[in-house]
A and B are shown apart, each in its own frame.
Chain A
Amino acid sequence: MRRIRVLALCCAVLLILSLSAVQAQVPPPQRGGTIRVGITQEIINLDPHVATAFSSFQVMDLVYESLLRLNAKTLEVEPNLATSWSVSADGLEYTFTLRRDATFHDGTTVDASDVKYTIDRILDPATRSPQASFLEPVREITVINPFSVRIALKRPFAPFLSLLTRPSRGIVPVNFEDKVGDARVRTLGSGPYRLAEFGPGSVRLTRYERYWRRDAQGNRLPHADAVIYRVIPDPATLRAAVRAGEVDLIIGFGVDINAARTLDAVPGLKVMSVADLAYSLLGIQHERPPFNDARVKQALALAIDRAQLIQVVYSGRATAAGPLPPTAAEWRPVAASGLPNYRRDAIRARQLLAQAGHPNGVAIKMLPIPTVPEVVQIAQVLKEQLAPAGFNVEIEQVDFATFLSRWRGSQFDTFVSLNSGEIDPDVHLYRHIHSTGSTNVFKFKDSSVDQLLDQGRGTPDIARRQQIYGQLQRQIAEKVPFLFLAYADLFAVARANVNGFTLSSTRSMWPLAETWLAR
């Protein structure tokens, strides 16, 4: 184990050295060319406030802009359409100053009335925006002047700024739907690229010439003339396409550790990696037997060996998951080794099961999400790990829509899936484990966890929030709302002539605006 860690460390050091060596030789960016990105999921809907598919956001990251954004490397909140902001002492009013040079793709200036219209649109029940629950704390939006807008909240809401960083809160112009027609297939944003063609299996974006942002050297962005997303559903074909030079970049899905290793050895390709914010989890239904008994939940937690899981599924390129992601260093994530119920103890697990009335073990069903290949592998490893502790696991393989339906309806004993993580601990945890959380399909209810979550979101002071989430992490490990399994490394593979792309833990694609192709 130690040898593997040392090896991994050496690899990481070598990778960093080689990357810095590459960076040292990088010539100034070249303008022009088309960046071709291969993705595995069909692009379905390009309405920023209604879409839910990840592939839709991969496109919209370049078309729509939100008030703020997360720095691709540091994950800190930074200005975007808003240049600055201030928060009232009671934490109830946020005032944003907008930049004056941002325009929508029809040439009109982005102003405060557009911000108000956007948030109103998301909150309007007629929009059917799945994002509405995130902005529920908003009470009122006031246009102070064309470039200044105030958002008043119903109650102090500490993670508010981080909620304004995504394309799903992308600013659209007043009367958006009248201007654009069907927003699912046509766009009108202020991002570096505009939609040129939405064809079968591909989307082509072309440079928006009046885009406001410049790179560090003062060059106008974006560098490339166009970006094409090609849908390649089969991961093997996706990898072949980047090898054959028919796409320039592939990210995440379809590029696991084994693919990354193989492709790294191919001349003309380069592999990038970063710790992913997304994590794998084992969900539990708390209202149904056997997990309506705290002892059974604890037994389940004790039966799992994350280190082995990470070796088998991710060849060691992952971190055992505590409740907060290691990338969110500001919030002092507690390492798995320091959390209760994280050290495997099959004997104790068996005893707990016996105390709970299952001396001969208990049969449970496990539902892996079918769209993430490694999740099926995780389910198989868990089945083996849980058996000696007395859990007799039956894996149920269903199609995606069935999975979704059973997930929504809490119709499962356990499920294995991948959750997109968040940098703010409130957004990361509240909706899943608060008794009123919008995605608490686990039916987990615990008053002290609820209380800590409510305190955490109502406290603006960062030091105080850190304390609260420190306490909460331990409570989560003890009470097992669900099992956080692993934060795996995220990989991307690019052709050697692709420069300036930053692979972000958030999987954001906006760094493509700063990407350029060497010719």
Chain B
Amino acid sequence: MQRYVAQRLLLLIPVLFVISVVVFSLMHLIPGDPAQVILGFENTDPAQLAAVRRDLGLDRPVYVQYGRWLGRVLSGNLGTSVRTGRPIGALILEALPFTLELAIYAVVLAILIAVPVGTLAGTTSSRLADGTMQTLTLLGLSLPAFWVGAMFILLFSVHLRWFPVLTFPALLDAPLANLRGFFLPALTLAVPNAAAIARMVRASLVSVRREEYVKVARAKGLSESLVVRRHMLKNALIPVVTLIGIVAGYLLGGSIVVEQVFAIPGVGRMGLQAIVQRDYPVLQAVVLIVTALFVLVNLLVDLIYVFLDPRIRYA
């Protein structure tokens, strides 16, 4: 088990390396550079542009720039943002709590919505109920987040005044206000994911419904709810947990759209700004952090399997 975890963690190193090379190359292949963005529209003097490029080290060949960056990162320094001059480590520490909380909140909401809905759809014998669930989940999957978010704001914040639009106090300072403030963005993120998970729960339940052990459980005279909870759900949850792991991994990268719509200064928005401003080191750092988190979450999911299904062993 420890060996398995160690192997998976070691695998992270080549993954991060390859990703950093790809991101670095892509950023230098597309037009536009940070020196130009820094100088803006005020002045087109080529000498001044050259000077700013020199300050930023952009006059060196790309592989030299990459080498310097890699050297710095290996010594534990993510560098400074070329656009704002602020240390990237601090920027990420500021942005990450927003994204982490949003992701966890969204996953929790998605599970709270998806498991009951999926279970109902997967165990009911009513065609109408099943069909309604299917339609609703399809709707949840297809509505774009920017629209859902905007509608939630208009309905719940502007008209009903149930939730604030822009209030995100720290969780420890004001837990209730914090959960209230993050509710709408988390729900917006949760909607499509809840739909996907609910469909998975339903499909898994349908497939285990006719298994022998379910028949045995029923023959033992167990109540239907006990059959579903103890026998069907537990076995049906393995693919669902895989899906939840993938979803959580994506959400940790920050949902750019939701962070934009709800004005949350999280990692997604930071990454987007870094692309717009061609802030290479910030983008590199964001991608590395997000990749590492994604890999770690998926490792965690693999470990959860062991507890769900004792037959699974990692040697």
Contact = CB atoms under 8 A, between A and B. Distances in A.
Given A128-B48, A185-B84, A402 B42 contact: no
B32 A130 contact: no
A406 B36 CA distance: 10
Contacts of B158: 240, 243-244
Given A231-B265, A233-B263, A439 B42 contact: yes
A438 B153 CA distance: 45
A294 interface: no
Contacts of B44: 408, 438-441
Given A232-B166, A404-B36, A408-B36, 5 more contacts: A133-B42, A200-B265, A200-B270, A398-B31, A406-B31
Interface string A131-158: 1110000000000000000000000000
Interface of B: 30-33, 36-45, 48-49, 51-52, 55, 83-86, 91, 94-95, 98, 146, 150, 153-154, 157-158, 161, 164-167, 260-265, 269-270, 273, 275-278
A234 interface: yes
A439 B167 contact: no
A402 B277 CA distance: 10
Contact of A405 (B33, B51, B95): B33
Contacts of A131: 42
Interface string A152-171: 00000000000000000000
A247 B164 CA distance: 11
A44 interface: yes
B256 to A, nearest CB: 10
Contacts of A199: 94, 265
A435 interface: no
Nearest to B153: A240
A356 interface: no
B40 A246 contact: no
Pick from B38, B44, B94, B276 the residue with the most CB of A within 10 Å. B44
A27 interface: no
SS of A interface (majority): loop
Contact of A234 (B32, B41, B86, B263): B263
A236 interface: yes
A34 to B, nearest CB: 14
Contacts of B270: 200
Contacts of B157: 240, 244
Contacts of B261: 234, 236-237
Contact of A52 (B41, B85, B86, B167): B41
Contacts of A508: none
A120 interface: no
A518 interface: no
A111 B49 CA distance: 33
Interface string A217-253: 0000000000000111110110011011011000000
A404 B51 contact: no
A441 B49 CA distance: 15
A185 B43 contact: no
A404 B84 contact: no
A50 B86 CA distance: 15
Contacts of B94: 199-200
Nearest to A243: B158
B168 to A, nearest CB: 9
A241 B40 contact: no
A394 interface: no
A399 B32 contact: yes
B32 A182 contact: no
Contacts of A450: none
Interface residues of A, number: 46
Interface in A99-133: 125, 128, 130-133
Given A200-B94, A240-B165, A128 B52 contact: yes
A45 interface: yes
Contact of B40 (A130, A440, A441): A130
Nearest to B97: A200
A402 B164 contact: no
A226 B265 CA distance: 21
Interface of A: 42, 44-45, 50, 52-53, 125, 128, 130-133, 182, 184-185, 199-202, 230-234, 236-237, 240-241, 243-244, 246-247, 398-402, 404-408, 438-441
B263 A401 contact: no
Given A237-B262, A240-B158, A401-B33, A44 B83 contact: yes
Given A200-B94, A401-B32, A406-B31, A236 B164 contact: no
Given A230-B263, A240-B165, A401-B33, A130 B39 contact: yes
Nearest to A125: B51
B56 to A, nearest CB: 10
Q: Which of A50, A132, A405, A438 has the most CB of B within 10 A?
A: A405
Contacts of B165: 237, 240-241, 244, 246
Given A199-B94, A408-B49, A244 B263 contact: no
A295 B43 CA distance: 30
B164 A244 contact: yes
- Among A132, A199, A231, A401, the one with the most B-chain Cβ atoms within 10 Å of its Cβ is A401
Contact of B161 (A128, A182, A244, A401): A244
16 contacts: A42-B273, A52-B40, A128-B51, A128-B55, A130-B48, A200-B270, A233-B260, A234-B146, A234-B260, A234-B261, A236-B261, A243-B158, A244-B161, A404-B32, A438-B45, A439-B43
Nearest to A406: B31
A405 B28 CA distance: 13
A398 B264 CA distance: 25
A185 B158 CA distance: 34
Contacts of B273: 42
Contacts of B85: 45, 182, 184-185
A234 B83 CA distance: 22
Contacts of B36: 401, 404-405, 408
B72 to A, nearest CB: 18
A244 B166 CA distance: 10
Contacts of A130: 39-40, 42-43, 48
Contacts of A200: 91, 94-95, 98, 265, 270
A141 to B, nearest CB: 21
A185 B83 CA distance: 11
A237 B95 contact: no
Given A230-B263, A247-B166, A402 B30 contact: yes
Contacts of A128: 48, 51-52, 55
A237 B277 CA distance: 22
